Chains A and B, each alone.
Chain A
Amino acid sequence: MVIYPQRKGGAPMKKRLTNIIPTVITAISALLFLAPIVLILCNSLMSTGEVNDIYSITEGYSPLRLIPKITTIQQYYRIMIENPEYLVVFWNSMKIVVPIVTGQVIFASVAAYALSCFRFKGRNIIFFVYIAVMLMPSQATIVPNFIMVRRLGIIDTFYSVIFPGIFGAFGVVLLRQFMIGVPRDYIEAARIEGAGFIRILFKIVIPLVKGGFVSVIILCFVDSWGMVETPLVFLSDIKMQPISVYLSGATVTGELFAASALAMAVPLLLFLIGRDELIQGIELSGLK
């Protein structure tokens, strides 16, 4: 018989070890995930010269340095005051992402409402198709999308990126999962009271799945904010590039960390606003 040492008032040592190991693993994982963000934030406070010194090494690996020799906001000054290019592409991203998110929320809410609250023939097949489309990588759909937007004559305009984004399948699937959870009695009662479908959607369904909408907004925003291939292919005019494309092709090392921090700030702020709903939505949908 093995006797485990026991602390007064505490759990047995074996149980404590069982708790500690996942905690440590989680902590290490969190650190690993946080490392790039920390690196970006720390390096963004270095001078451009220092950054160039560190990352201009052509042989071997650059040393990982987190503590600036001199803490400065020179990079932020450069990208926000001295050179307007970063802010221009920032607003380009906003011009693309905001319509996409808005449109997707509108269309996804209607589609999800139909798929969840109405019983009609082929409903499951349609939902399956949505699932299939959602699972397809964006690189696979980019060619037919390109052909379509060119036929529509909107190539090299923001619409060429916005329209394919609006009609994404992810939002529909996510909202359907939320709307399925809405009690049928509420909807039946409203119908008995004489409410129409639209009224039921806005007055009963949407208020009940508010968390789902927040999740859709955040996840759709993050997805659109970081997309590269679609604007790269559809927007040949360099002055229409979003920040994601601009950063991927940027060559000025000394300012990239601050630019990355700037690009990171919006999704982060959005996450902080809808953090609770997002977690709830992810838990409910089991996605992402």
Chain B
Amino acid sequence: MSGRKRAIKWTVIFFTIVIICTFASKTIYYFTLPKVATEKAREGSFTETAILTQGSIEMKGTESYELELPGAIKIDEVYAKKGQKLSAGDDIVRFNAEDIEEQLEALEKQRESAEIALLEFMRGFNSRIDTLRQQVPEGVSDGFINIKSNGIGLITALNVKDGDRVAAGVKLCEISDDKRLLVRLPFSAEYDIKPGMKAEVTIPSAMTTVGGSVREVGGEIALYGAKARMVTIEFDNPGTIAAGGSASAVIEGGITPASDGWIEYSKTTSVYAESSGYISGLNVSLYEKVPAGKLLMKIELPDADSAKTELEYMLSTGIYNGRTEKQMREQLESVNASIEKLSALSETGIIKAETDCYITSIPVRKNMSFMGGILYEYSIEEPKYEVVFTSGEMSEITKNLKCKVVYTINGRQNEANGKIIDVGIGYATVESAKLEQALQAQSIYAEVTLSTETAMYTLPASAVIANKFVYVLKTKDTVLGKQYYASLQEVTTGRRNAYIVEILSSGSGYSLTEDRVITAWDRDLADGVAVDIETGSKS
């Protein structure tokens, strides 16, 4: 190959390479340029918000129409729809008449059962209360009942000791009045002895005589083949005389008894155990003189605490066997109401609106078997929704502030406007008319607008670097034509939030009204780097 041919061949190769590279390099160059989005500074508003969370939503003023049924009744027709406004008397649902008759019979049986159940409940409740009251006598404290003396006197009988088990009603001790003694003597019935007659009582063992008077004259009795009367003579002043010894007496007029008698205490009172238990803390001994009200002993009542607790619980709650009288009565009333409703239904089988209302929910449909419960829900006024939030930034929340309720259903976010209608400790209530869907929301929160202020120039927060710099889009003429490039410019910033930053002023290299600012870029930028505009006007 000659030198010329070789040169021509290399020339062809050279130009081929240059042509290919020309197309390739332009493509690569524009592909590698950072793609940027731009926009001009514009007026913006800074809205201070507070977020409320953990909301629970309910329809304001919604009431339920419930129908208690003993079994299923087929629905022949449903006339009303959700959201429909009804007038009083409008048809809502028509039930199958034959099913109603069957259910009425079943309801009658239910009513009988409910009445019987109520009676049995009351009987059982009262019986249990009585039992418990017996187990817990008055005066019980910390499981003990105190036994006190009921008068001044001597302990003349003491039947128990510490640790003895006693049953309710057992005599524990006797207290006798040692200031009043008497003697019972048989006198012949021939004597006319009357109460109040004076007598002289002779006590041989004491070798003394004391005055007395007839207190009681008994009926005639047979004594040694003759008729006699037992006359009780009470000592006027017994002094140191003690009971137990023998005595005789002469009633005024020289009347003498048929035989001697024994000196007795005039008044002896017995102390009984009020409840079954164990004697504890015996505080007296036999023939000890005790004042009135002295603690004689205690009876420990092992079951008193639990009985007292149960008694108090039953009296305060009215619960017996897990049920209350109110429940039983409500159950009965419910059955009665159902019977009443079904009786009214039995003629036409149609449920009618009781008043003008809005249907807020009607879960039944034609041909379904209604088992009882909520037939439909309604609202007297146009339905509104209330969301009660119990968490979030509540410190600055006040009434009537506007807010945006955001709720999520199946991952899709929805919004509705509302306003704060009530604020209290730990809660804030938002009202909105557009939250029908939110009843099924998986999560719900509110963004409350606390205040709104406008700013003359704002930029997206993503455009401001280190709160001080922005990349301004500039152009220059290059070999490749008009070329966009990023120019790093300093700015003075003001207020900012998560979305926008207020620009107060800028240097001479950036006109707030004219220049566009790079707000987003897909790779690193530097001052003077050529860029390609992806979004935003190129003008």
A83 CA / B7 CA spacing, docked (Å): 28
Residues of chain A within 8 A of B6, CB atoms compared: 272
Interface hit among B117-125, B158-166, B398-406, B476-484? B476-484
Residue of B nearest to A269 (CB): B11
Complex Cα distance, B15 from A266, in Å, reads: 9
Is there a chain A Cβ closer than 8 Å to B3's Cβ?
yes
B25 & A83 in contact (Cβ 8 Å cutoff): yes
Complex partner residue of B29 from A84, A238, A241, A266, CB under 8 angstroms: A84
Distance of A91 Cα from B17 Cα, bound (Å): 13
Contact A88:B18 (CB < 8 A) given known A83-B29, A273-B4, A273-B8: no
**B222 within 8 Å of A (CB atoms):** no
Tell me whether A95 is interfacial, beta carbon within 8 Å: no
8 Å CB contacts to B: which residues of A18-39?
none
Report the Cα distance A91→B479, complex, angstroms: 11
Main SS of the interface on chain A? helix
Does the CB pair B3–A272 fall under 8 Å? yes
Q: Is B255 an interface residue (CB 8 A)?
A: no
Q: What 0/1 readout, one digit per residue, does chain A (78-119) give for beta carbons within 8 Å of chain B?
A: 001111110111111000000000000000000000000000
List of A residues within 8 angstroms of B22 by Cβ = 84, 87-88, 90-91
Alpha-carbon separation in the docked complex, A288 to B4 (Å): 22
Looking at the assembled complex, report how far the CB atom of A94 sits from the nearest CB atom of chain B, in whole angstroms.
Answer: 9
A269 / chain B contacts, CB cutoff of 8 Å: 7, 10-11, 14
Residues of B with C-beta under 8 A to A273: 4, 7-8, 11
Does A283 sit at the interface, judged by CB under 8 A? no
- Residue of B3, B4, B21, B479 most packed against chain A (CB within 10 A): B479
Let me know if A178 is at the binding interface, CB within 8 A.
no
CB distance from B22 to the nearest CB of A (A): 4
Using A81-B24, A87-B21 as known contacts, say yes or no to A265 and B14 having CB atoms under 8 A apart.
Answer: yes
Known: A83-B25, A84-B29, A272-B3. 5 other contacts (CB 8 A): A84-B22, A84-B26, A87-B18, A269-B14, A272-B6
CA separation between A81 and B25, bound complex, in Å? 4
What are the residues of chain B within 8 A of A193 when measuring CB–CB?
A: none
Query: Would you call B425 an interface residue if the criterion is a C-beta within 8 Å of the partner chain's C-beta atoms?
Result: no
B297 CB to closest chain A CB (Å) equals 111
In the complex the two chains form, is B14's CB within 8 Å of A84's CB? no
Q: Which residues of B contact A275 (CB under 8 A)?
A: 3-4, 7
**8 Å CB contacts to A: which residues of B271-322?**
none
14 contacts between A and B (CB under 8 A): A80-B17, A80-B18, A82-B28, A82-B29, A84-B480, A87-B25, A88-B22, A90-B18, A237-B477, A239-B477, A270-B11, A273-B7, A274-B4, A276-B4
Contact residue among A87, A239, A276 (Cβ-Cβ distance under 8 Å from B478)? A239
Q: Which residues of chain B are within 8 angstroms of A234 by Cβ–Cβ distance?
A: none
Q: B32 — which chain A residues lie within 8 A by C-beta?
A: 82
A158 at interface by CB-CB < 8 Å: no
Query: Do A85 and B10 touch (CB < 8 A)?
Result: no
> Given the known A-B contacts A272-B7, A273-B4, A275-B3, are A239 and B480 also in contact in the complex, defined by CB atoms under 8 Å?
yes
Are A85 and B478 in touch, CB under 8 angstroms? Answer: yes
Indicate with 1 or 0, residue by residue over B1-39, a CB within 8 angstroms of chain A CB atoms.
001101110110010011001101110110010000000
Give the contacting residue for B25; candidates A82, A89, A274, A276; CB below 8 A. Answer: A82
The 0/1 profile, CB within 8 Å of B marked 1, for residues 119-151 of chain A is 000000000000000000000000000000000
- Shortest beta-carbon distance, B477 to chain A, in Å? 5
Assuming the contacts A81-B25, A82-B28, asked whether A88 and B3 have C-beta atoms less than 8 A apart, the reply is no
* B21 in contact with A239 (CB, 8 Å): no
* Residues of chain B contacted by A239 (CB below 8 angstroms): 477-481
Q: Is the CB of B479 within 8 A of A238?
A: yes
| Residue contact B18 to A246, C-beta cutoff 8 Å | no
Q: 6 closest A-B pairs (Cβ-Cβ)?
A: A272-B7, A84-B25, A80-B21, A269-B11, A85-B479, A87-B22
Q: How far, in angstroms, from A266 to B18 measured CA to CA in the complex?
A: 11
What residues of chain B lie closer than 8 Å to A91, measured between beta carbons? 22
How many residues on chain A are close to B (CB under 8 Å)? 26
Q: Mark A49-86, 1 if CB is under 8 A from B, else 0.
A: 00000000000000000000000000000001111110
With CB as the reference atom, state the residue of chain B lying closest to A275: B3
Residue interface bits A137-174, CB-to-B below 8 A is 1, else 0: 00000000000000000000000000000000000000
Least CB distance, A143 to chain B, in whole angstroms: 25
> Which residues of A are found within 8 Å of B479, using beta-carbon distances?
85, 88-89, 92, 238-239, 241, 246
CA–CA, A272 and B5, complex, Å: 9
What CA separation (Å) do A273 and B28 show in the bound complex? Answer: 33
Q: In the docked arrangement, what's the CA distance between A275 and B11, Å?
A: 14
Please measure, in the bound complex, the distance between the C-alpha atom of A93 and the C-alpha atom of B17, giving whole angstroms.
Answer: 17
When each residue 241-269 of chain A gets 1 if its CB lies under 8 Å from chain B and 0 otherwise, what string results?
Answer: 10000100000000000000000011001
> Which residues of chain A are near B17, meaning CB under 8 Å?
80
Closest Cβ neighbor of B27 among chain A residues: A84
Smallest beta-carbon distance B3→chain A, Å: 7
With the chains together, A269 CA to B478 CA distance in Å? 29
Q: Given the complex, which residues of A lie within 8 Å of B18, measured CB to CB?
A: 80, 87, 90
Q: For A246, give the chain B residue with the smallest CB separation.
A: B479
The reply to whether B14 and A80 form a contact with Cβ atoms under 8 Å apart is no
Known contacts A90-B18, A91-B22; decide if A238 and B477 are in contact (CB<8 Å). Answer: yes
| Assembled-state Cα–Cα distance A172/B21 (Å) | 37
A92 to B17, CA, bound (A): 17
Minimum C-beta distance from B523 to chain A (A) = 15
Closest to A270 in B: B11
Smallest Cβ distance from A84 to chain B, in angstroms? 4
Chain A hits for B28, CB < 8 A = 81-82
Cα-based distance from A276 to B2 in the complex (angstroms): 12
Chain A minimum-CB-distance residue to B28: A81
- Chain B 478-509: CB-based contact to A (< 8 A → 1; otherwise 0): 11110000000000000000000000000000
Interface readout for B445-462 with A: 1 if CB under 8 Å, 0 if not? 000000000000000000
Q: What is the chain A residue whose CB lies nearest that of B32?
A: A82
In chain A, what residue has the closest Cβ to B25?
A84
B11 surroundings in chain A (CB, below 8 A): 269-270, 273
B476 to nearest A CB, angstroms? 9
CB B135 to nearest CB in A, in angstroms, measures 101
**Does B480 lie within 8 Å of A85, measured CB to CB?**
yes
- Report chain B residues within 8 Å CB of A241: 479
What chain B residues lie within 8 Å of A81 (beta carbons)? 21, 24-25, 28
Whole-angstrom CA separation of A85 from B26 in the bound complex: 9
Q: Which residue of B lies closest to A90 (CB)?
A: B18
Residues of B within 8 A of A82 (CB): 25, 28-29, 32
Measured between alpha carbons, how far is A121 from B28 in the docked complex, in Å? Answer: 62
C-alpha gap A265/B13 in the complex (Å): 12
Chain B residues with Cβ below 8 Å from A84 are 22, 25-26, 29, 480
On chain A, the residues within 8 Å of B4 by CB distance are: 272-276
Measured between alpha carbons, how far is A174 from B21 in the docked complex, in Å? 37
A274 to B4, CA, bound (A): 7
A273 to B480 CA separation, bound complex (whole angstroms): 32
Docked pose: A274 CA to B29 CA in angstroms: 36
Q: Roughly how many angstroms separate A272 CA and B25 CA in the complex, as a whole number?
A: 28
A173 to B17, CA, bound (A): 36
